[in-house]
Chains A and B, each alone.
Chain A
Amino acid sequence: MPAEIDIAHVARLARLGLSDEELEHYKSQLGAILDHAARVQSLKGEPVVEASHPLRLENVYREDVVVPSLDRDEVLSQAPETEDGYFVAPPAMGTE
C-alpha cells in the first residue's frame, strides 16, 4: 500500500510542469487508483517469472545492413525550431 505519494517528485521525474493545485488534484486521484491497483499484492504463491512475449519469441535481430535514412528537410519540417540542419533547444541547465 502506498504510504505517501511524493507527487512533486513524481511530476519532476515525468517532466510535467504542474501547478501546486494540479499536483494536489492528481495526488488524490492517484491515491484512489493505487488503492485499487494494490490488489495485485493479493496474488499468493511462488513468485513466477515475469511475463514475456505471449508467443515466446526470442532472438529477433536484423542483419547489419544499411538502409536509406530519411530526408532531412522532411524531418526538420516538423521541428519547432531548427538552425543549419540542427534541431534547436535552449541551454541544458539553468544558472542555479
Chain B
Amino acid sequence: MSALHDLTIVEVGEKLRSGETTCVELVEAVLARAHQTEAQLHAYLTLDREPALAAAERADAELAAGEDRGPLHGIPIALKDNMCTRGLETTAASQILAGYHPPYDATVVTRLRDAGAVIVGKTNLDEFAMGSSTENSAFGPSFNPWDIGRVPGGSSGGSAAAVAAGSAFGALGSDTGGSIRQPASLTGIVGVKPTYGTVSRYGLIAFASSLDQIGPLSKSVADAALTLGAIWGHDPLDATSYPGEYPDLEADLDTGVAGLKIGVVKEFAGEGYEPAVEGAVGSMLDALSDAGAEIVEVSLPTVDIALSAYYLVAPAEASANLARFDGIRYGHRAPGATTEELMARTRAEGFGPEVTRRILLGTYALSAGYYDAFYGQAQRVRAALRDEFEAAYRSVDVLVSPTSPTTAFRVGEKTEDPLSMYLTDICTNPINLVGHPGISVPVALDEKSLPVGMQVMAPALGERVMFRVAAEIERLAGFDARPLLDEVA
C-alpha cells in the first residue's frame, strides 16, 4: 500500500471525507516527508510548520461542522517563493529580498486559503524565476528526487521536487518560458501553464509580465484540474485578468480522444532531442491514434526563432520589473554616499549572475538605437507566431510535443554556458509568447529511469480539450512510477 504522502489530492480527499484521515495527519505526513527528504532535495526555502498545523486543525473543525470548502479542503499545498505571503518570508530566491516579509497576500494565496488549502511552505526556485534548473537560487540548488545528482528543472524546481517526493500534495509554480512544465517533465509529475490572463498575477513577483502565468504542479491530471479550478478566475486587481466565461476543466477528463485531431509540431524534433524522449512521445502518439485520435503533422516555422524572441522580450520586461529592487523601501541595502551609488552597489551585490545577465541583456535590447532591431522585432515575431498557432488550431484541436528535448541533466552540466541552458526551454516558451495554455504529462522513463514528459498545447481558453487529451495520455501511459528516494537516502 502506498504511503499517505504518495497519494493524489483526489485520493486523500476521499480518505478525509470517509474519516480515514484528517487534515492534521495530511500536514504531519508532508512535514515528516519533508523532514526525511529536505537534506537531499532542498525543495523548500521556508516551511511554515506551526501555522500549517493550526490551519489544518481549523480545516478539520470545519469538516467536522459540515463545512466543506471543496476538493482542496485541508490539503497541504506548497508555493513557489515568488508569490507574496503576508508576514511569511518571500524571497524569490534572491539575496536582494532575503528577510522580506510582504505586507499582503497574492491573490492565488487568498484563493487557496478560501478553498480550504493549507499552505505548508515556500519552495525553491531559480532567482526571480530566471533559469531552467533551480541552480540559480541564491540559497543553493534543489535536486531531482529521481537522481539527486541531477537538477529538478526550473525555475519551479522546488515545487516540482516537493510534489514528486511527496513533501506536498500539490504546489503552485509560475511559468514564463516553461518554468512549470519543464520541471514537471523532469520530475515525472503534471504541470500546467494556463491561458495568459486566467490566473491572477497580483502578488506574483514579476519576471516578465506579458509571459508570466501561475499554474499547478500535481501528481495527476485530475489534481491539476481541481487546483487550477480553485485559483483561476477574474481578479480586478490584475488588469490583464480575463473577465469572461471560464472553461469547465473537469467535464471531459473521462471523455477520451476519439474524434479529436492532434497536431504534432514538426519543428520540435531533431538535433538536440534525446532519442528516448522522441521515442516516448512517438509511442504515445501511436497509442492516441489507437484510442481514436487523428494524428497530423503541423508546421509552425516561426517556432524556430521563438527562443530568440523570448530571450529579448523576457529580459527586456525583467529589466524594468526588477528596477524596483534598489535598497530604498525594502530588501537588501549596500552602503553608498549618494542614492545612485547605493542603488548600484545594492543591485550588484543583491542580484546573482543570471539575473544580472538578463537585466543587462534586457536593458541593451530596449536602449536607444537597438530597440527596433531587437525588442521591436521580437514583438513582431510574437505576433507572427500567434498568427501561426491560431491558424494551426483552425485545423487541429490540440498540438503536442516533448516538454523538454532531454530528461533531467546533471547538476552543473549547463551552468557555464547560458545559451545551452536557454535551449532547454525550446519546446515550452513559444506558447508563453502567444499566451496559450500548455500541460506536461509524464509518459515514460528513459533508460536512466528518468521521467519523460509530453506537452499538450491548446488555443487560448482551450483548457477543456487540453485536459481531455492530457487525461487520456495519463491513462494510456499508465505512469505510476514514484522516485525511489528512500533507497537513495
Q: Quick check: B357 and A26 within 8 Å, CB to CB?
A: yes
Name the prevailing secondary structure of the B interface residues: helix
Question: Which residues of chain A have a CB within 8 Å of any CB of chain B?
Answer: 2, 5, 7, 9-18, 22, 26, 29-30, 32-34, 36-43, 45, 47-51, 53-55, 57, 60, 62, 70-71, 74-75, 77-81, 87, 89-94
Inter-chain CA distance A24–B460, complex, in Å, is 43
Main secondary structure on chain A at its contact with chain B? loop
Check B461 for interface membership: any CB of A closer than 8 A: yes
When chains A and B are docked, how far (Å) is the Cα of A37 from the Cα of B239?
Answer: 30
Contact B360–A37 (Cβ < 8 Å)? no
Query: Would you give the 0/1 interface string for B32-61, flagging 1 where the beta carbon is closer than 8 Å to chain A?
Result: 000000000000000000000000000000
State how many angstroms separate the Cβ of B98 from the closest Cβ of chain A: 12
Within 8 A of A (CB), among B326-350: 326-333, 336-345, 347-348
Q: How far is the CB of B430 from chain A (nearest CB, A)?
A: 13
B309 contacts A by Cβ under 8 Å: yes
Is B377's CB under 8 angstroms from A41's CB? Answer: yes
Min CB distance B121 to A, Å, is: 21
The 20 sampled A-B contact pairs (Cβ below 8 Å) are A11-B360, A14-B319, A14-B363, A15-B326, A18-B356, A30-B360, A30-B361, A33-B422, A36-B419, A37-B309, A43-B384, A47-B380, A51-B379, A51-B433, A53-B197, A78-B101, A80-B332, A89-B328, A94-B338, A94-B340
B423-445 vs A: 1/0 string, CB under 8 Å?
00000000001111000000000
Distance between A12 CB and nearest chain B CB, rounded to angstroms: 8
Q: Which residues in B have their C-beta under 8 angstroms from that of A79?
A: 328-330
Write the nearest CB–CB distance from A64 to chain B, whole angstroms. 14
Q: Are A30 and B336 in contact (CB under 8 A)?
A: no
- Minimum CB–CB distance from A49 to chain B (whole Å) comes to 6
Q: Smallest Cβ distance from B303 to chain A, in angstroms?
A: 12
- Which residues of A lie under 8 Å from residue B381 when comparing CB positions? 40, 43
> A55–B196 contact, CB under 8 A?
yes
Chain B positions within 8 Å of A42 at CB level = 305
A59 to B383 Cα, complex, angstroms: 21
- Considering the complex, which residues of chain B in the window 155-211 have a beta carbon less than 8 Å from any beta carbon of chain A? 195-197, 210
Count of CB-CB pairs between chains A and B under 8 Å: 188
**Shortest Cβ distance from A69 into chain B, in angstroms?**
11
Contacts of A80 in B (CB 8 A): 327-328, 330-333
> Binary interface profile of B, 367-384, with partner A (CB < 8 Å = 1, else 0)?
100100110111111111
* 9 cross-chain pairs, A with B, having the tightest CB-CB distances, nearest first: A54-B435, A17-B344, A80-B333, A51-B382, A78-B330, A50-B379, A39-B308, A17-B348, A48-B383
Residues of B at under 8 Å CB distance from A? 100-101, 103-104, 195-197, 210, 236, 239-240, 242-244, 302, 304-305, 307-309, 311-312, 319, 323, 326-333, 336-345, 347-348, 351, 356-357, 359-361, 363-365, 367, 370, 373-374, 376-384, 386-387, 418-419, 422, 433-436, 460-461
Among A47, A75, A90, max chain B CB count under 10 A is at: A90
User: What A residues does B380 contact at CB under 8 A?
Assistant: 40, 43, 47-48, 50
User: Once the chains are docked, how many angstroms separate the CA of A11 from the CA of B362?
Assistant: 11
CB proximity of A55 to chain B, nearest CB, Å = 5
Cα–Cα distance between A96 and B419 once the two chains are bound (Å): 41
CB pair A30–B338 under 8 Å, yes or no, is: no
B338 close to A15 (CB less than 8 A): no
The residue of chain A having its C-beta at the shortest distance from the C-beta of B210 within the complex is A51
Which residues of the other chain, B, contact A93 by a CB distance below 8 angstroms? 338-340
Smallest distance from the beta carbon of A60 to chain B beta carbons, Å?
A: 4
Alpha-carbon separation in the docked complex, A57 to B418 (Å) = 35
Cβ of A43 and Cβ of B364 under 8 Å apart? no
CA A36 to CA B240, docked complex, whole Å: 30
Q: A36-B311, A70-B104 are in contact. Are A43 and B302 (CB under 8 A)?
A: yes
| Residue among B302, B337, B339 facing the most chain A CB atoms (10 A cut-off) | B339
B364 / chain A contacts, CB cutoff of 8 Å: 2, 5, 10, 30, 34
Contact A90 B435 (CB under 8 A): no
B386: chain A residues at CB < 8 Å are 51, 54
Asked if residues B384 and A48 are in contact (CB atoms below 8 Å), the reply is yes
Contacts of A92 in B (CB 8 A): 338-340
Given contacts A38-B308, A51-B379, contact A15 B323 (CB under 8 A): yes
| A residues in contact with B302, CB < 8 Å | 43
Is A30 touching B357 in the complex (CB atoms < 8 A)?
A: yes
Min CB gap A32→B, angstroms: 6
- Chain B residues within 8 Å of A57, by CB: 197, 240, 242-243
Instruction: State A80–B302 Cα separation when bound (angstroms).
Output: 47
A93 and chain B: residue at smallest CB distance: B338
